[in-house]
Amino acid sequence: MKTAKITMLFCLVTLLSFGTVSKKEKHALVDLYNATNGQSWNTTWDLNTPVSDWYGVVVNNDKVVELNLEFNNLKGQLPETFGDLTSLEKVNFFRNDISGSLPNSIGNLTALKAINISFNKLDGQLPKTLGQLTALTSLQLFMNKIEGEIPSNIGDLVNLEKLELYNNNLSGSIPTTIGNLTKLKEVLVSSNQLTGRLPSNISNLKDLKVLSVFDNNLLGVVPSSICELEQLEELVLANNAFYGSLPTNMANLSNLKTLLIGNNSFEGELAKLGEQLPNIVEFDFVNTTSRGAIVTLDTED
């Protein structure tokens, strides 16, 4: 009898150690598996084993908190039930073959802190429900075919530090609500079809280190407020339709290491600008009205 009790206790402890997720979450994972041709993944799941044993799945307190399936040959569309994984904090589907639009249900993932579905084949528009992911610190969807405008409610992602949407088919203007994202350190929206002007309230992003908008259809004068971004290390404005003089106080950007402004219509003595930036390493103003050049400076480590 004593032996039986010990055996039962051992089985109970073993069961708890596996972490039993809810039927709803397991169903959502199975849907993901089936919708993305799970049998052809590089590393597949044995659906008869505990969820905590499945490749790339992290379970904590009986909740699925992470999915790390990068480079795993996922092919297909994310199912609507993906939004049932409401405890997810991290999603990494980098370098797969995921197509279609992000499901609207993604807005249910309010615990999500980081999502990377870059280098896939996502298309369609970004769902407005993205604005509900207020815990998000990193949004990486670069190298896809996403179209339409950047939703204005992206300004609700007040904890966002990294925004990487480059190499898509995004159009429209950069929403002024980006000025709400005061924790941003990186904004990379290059190689899209963005139009309009740089928002002047970009100066609110005091922690910004990288701003890259090259290869779009942006126009107008660069706002003088950009010179308030004193932490900026990389500013890439090349291949747009900017014109006029650059702000006179660009020298305030003393941490700037890279400044690429070629293929625009800037005026003034641009060559002297490089001399005013003490830490500049790469300065490109080729094909501006001032006949620029690429200057690369050697610096000591």
Cα atoms in the Cβ-side hemisphere of radius 13 Å centred on 41: 24
Q: Report yes or no on 183 lying in a domain.
A: yes
Q: Is the pTM of this model over 0.95?
A: no
Please tell me the least confidently modeled range out of 161-170, 185-194, 259-268, 284-293: 284-293
Q: Report yes or no on 82 lying in a domain.
A: no
Q: Report yes or no on 50 lying in a domain.
A: no
Consecutive H or E run containing 91: strand 90-92
Residue 273 main-chain phi, psi, to 5 deg: -60, -40
Q: Report yes or no on 10 lying in a domain.
A: no
DSSP code for 231: T
pLDDT at residue 268, as a whole number: 85
**Beta-ladder partners of 121:** 99
> DSSP readout, 111-167?
T--EEE--SSEE-SBPPGGGGG-TT--EEE--SS--EEEPPGGGGG-TT--EEE--S
- Cβ density class 160-194: b for 16+ within 10 Å, e for less: bbbbbbbbbebbeebbebbbbbebbbbbbbbbbeb
Distance of alpha carbon 286 from alpha carbon 103, whole angstroms: 42
Residue 275's domain comprises: 67-75+87-296
Cβ atoms 131, 154 nearer than 8 A: yes
Q: Give the mean pLDDT of 161-184.
A: 99
pLDDT at residue 289, as a whole number: 64
Residue 189 main-chain phi, psi, to 5 deg: -125, 25
Distance of alpha carbon 166 from alpha carbon 143, whole angstroms: 6
pLDDT digits (tens, 9 = 90+) for 120-155: 999 999 999 999 999 999 999 999 999 999 999 999
Q: Report yes or no on 226 lying in a domain.
A: yes
Strand ranges of the sheet holding 193-196, from the earlier edge strand across to the other edge: 147-149, 169-173, 193-196, 217-220, 241-245, 265-267
- Cα distance from N-terminal residue to C-terminal residue, the chain: 72
Helix/strand/coil percent split, the chain, to 5 = 25, 25, 50
Q: Report yes or no on 14 lying in a domain.
A: no
Average of per-residue pLDDT values in the chain:
91
CATH number where 213 lies: 3.80.10.10
Pairing of strands 138-140, 241-245: unpaired
Residues 6+ apart with CB under 8 A from 19: 50, 51, 52, 59, 60, 61, 62
Q: Is the pLDDT of residue 178 over 80?
A: yes
Q: Report yes or no on 112 lying in a domain.
A: yes
Overall size of the chain counted in residues:
301
Please count the structural domains in the chain.
Answer: 1
pLDDT at residue 133, as a whole number: 99
